[in-house]
Chains A and B, each alone.
Chain A
Amino acid sequence: MRASGASKEIKLGGKVDEFEFFLEKDWSDGLPVVTPTEARVRWMLQDLQRDPDEPVGNIPPAGEPATVRTVAIHALMAGCKPEYLPVVLGGVKLILREEFNMGGVQCTMHGVAPLMIVNGPYADKIGLRGGNGCFGPGFRANATIGRAIRLVLLNLGGGIPGLASATVFASPIRYTACLTEHMARSPWESLAVSRGYAPEDDVITCAMVESPRLHFDDVSTEPERLLTGIGDAMTAPGSWNMWFKSDMVVAMSPQHAVLCANAGLSRDDARRRLCELAVRPQASLKRGGNWRSERARAMGIDPDDDEAPIHAVKDPDRLHLIVAGGVGPITAVCHGWNDSSRAVHGKYEV
């Protein structure tokens, strides 16, 4: 392992509270970080068979270069174990793909964040959570992998409110956003397998979404009513999904997914039916929110046609249906951003 001369340890003389020191430096998300010392960074990199100076990419919009070592420093600061580092590196590489438009999201008024859905055996091995409470808090892998990505976006990308970021509210999902599926209770193949990967492949999917909205349905006993309700939660005045070809993530609890599967629906059947049912007549969207005649026209819709159906998801490939969460009758719906960001997926090295 080569030591990078660019990140030598600095010594402060005298007594210092290391947690306060880092918080005062604006090098965190507002919560205390693990102080990156040479020894701890060596520990983080010890099992990784990669050159620490290997470039990972430039983080927008500031464009500061990330290397394996600088990502490891941020993973350490976030509280990661060394075995989480391959997932963090895979995630950083993935969110830098051009079609994901991370630079746009770093600057937008919106509050979306890259949600990482990690499939494959390595996610299980490191204890990533897909069961109850998987959006957090409480699970180190979920909490710290997502946080490491955020610290990279803040410190190397400059996506800080008041600097590059024009976000109005941001959102809790910007602290961390990483989970796996609840495969032990899912009636279907994983999201990655549904895309053609092998079950033994370690795959990350990233989609740009808002914090989850919880949709309770402890009443439905057949899929059509269940999916009609979830479809309604996927639509809303003020959501950009209505007026753009945006992505969306829907996380069904195992109970909801099993209800569909027991009636003979595959994952793809459920996904396609949700896209059909997540629709409103234009009139209901004109009463408020971001309806505008130009936006209707841009989608090829006559703004005066009140009955025109407006679908929340224009292309089923942009609905990412997963099975996650614990026991209970709930589906989590995460609305998306705009059509300049396309969800990305790929294998990562472990």
Chain B
Amino acid sequence: MTDDLGFIDPTAGGSRAKIPLAPRSSDLAGKVVGLLDNTKEQADVILETVADILRERYGVAKVIIRRKEYYSKPASEDLINEMAKEVQVAAAALGG
């Protein structure tokens, strides 16, 4: 046991920036939805099926599917900005 332990917090000094979550839509009807294909095998098959269901059952106006460069890497800033401009709701979607 130690009296009056002095120590340095090894995680101190970081930015600790909090990024708020985007507001969630409760209704998809009439909206443009973006799906981000992570490039894993059969992601395209899964996402196209999801897109059909979103249109048929949820009244989504349009589904835009984009593909990132590589599944182990984040999507590029350009791709994220492009999707942000085009869609009202976006989901990062897995294949594999």
Contact = CB atoms under 8 A, between A and B. Distances in A.
Interface of A: 4, 6-18, 21-22, 27, 35-38, 41, 62-65, 67, 70, 73-74, 77, 101, 103-105, 108, 151, 155-156, 292, 294-295, 338, 340-341
Contacts of B1: 15-17
10 contacts: A7-B9, A10-B8, A11-B4, A12-B4, A15-B2, A16-B5, A38-B8, A101-B72, A103-B73, A151-B10
Given A65-B15, A338-B72, A340-B73, A10 B6 contact: yes
A8 B14 CA distance: 13
Contacts of A292: 41
Interface of B: 1-15, 41-42, 70, 72-74
Interface centre among B1, B2, B72, B74 (most CB of A within 10 A): B72
A22 B73 CA distance: 33
A74 B12 CA distance: 12
A155 B7 contact: no
A14 B3 contact: yes
A18 B10 contact: no
B5 A104 contact: no
Contacts of B41: 292, 294-295
At the interface, is chain A mostly helix, strand, loop or mixed? mixed
Nearest to A158: B11
A7 B11 CA distance: 9
User: Which 7 pairs show the lowest CB-CB distances between chains A and B?
Assistant: A6-B13, A104-B72, A64-B14, A340-B72, A294-B41, A36-B8, A16-B5
Given A16-B2, A104-B72, A295-B41, A36 B7 contact: yes
A101 to B, nearest CB: 6
B70 A340 contact: yes
A11 B72 contact: no
Given A101-B72, A292-B41, A340-B70, A37 B13 contact: no
Contacts of B42: 294
Contacts of A108: 72
Given A101-B72, A104-B73, A64 B11 contact: yes
A250 B7 CA distance: 41
A15 B3 contact: yes
A155 B10 contact: yes
Given A101-B72, A108-B72, A340-B72, A14 B11 contact: no
A18 B11 contact: no
Contact of A27 (B10, B70, B72, B74): B10
Contacts of B13: 4, 6-7, 65, 67, 70
A341 B72 CA distance: 9
A158 to B, nearest CB: 10
Contacts of A9: 6-8
A156 B5 contact: no
B2 A18 contact: yes
Contact of B10 (A70, A104, A338): A70
Contacts of B8: 7-10, 36-38, 41, 73
A101 B15 CA distance: 22
B12 to A, nearest CB: 5
Given A10-B6, A21-B5, 20 more contacts: A6-B13, A7-B9, A8-B8, A9-B7, A9-B8, A12-B7, A14-B4, A18-B2, A21-B7, A36-B8, A36-B10, A37-B7, A38-B8, A41-B8, A62-B14, A65-B13, A155-B11, A156-B11, A294-B41, A338-B72
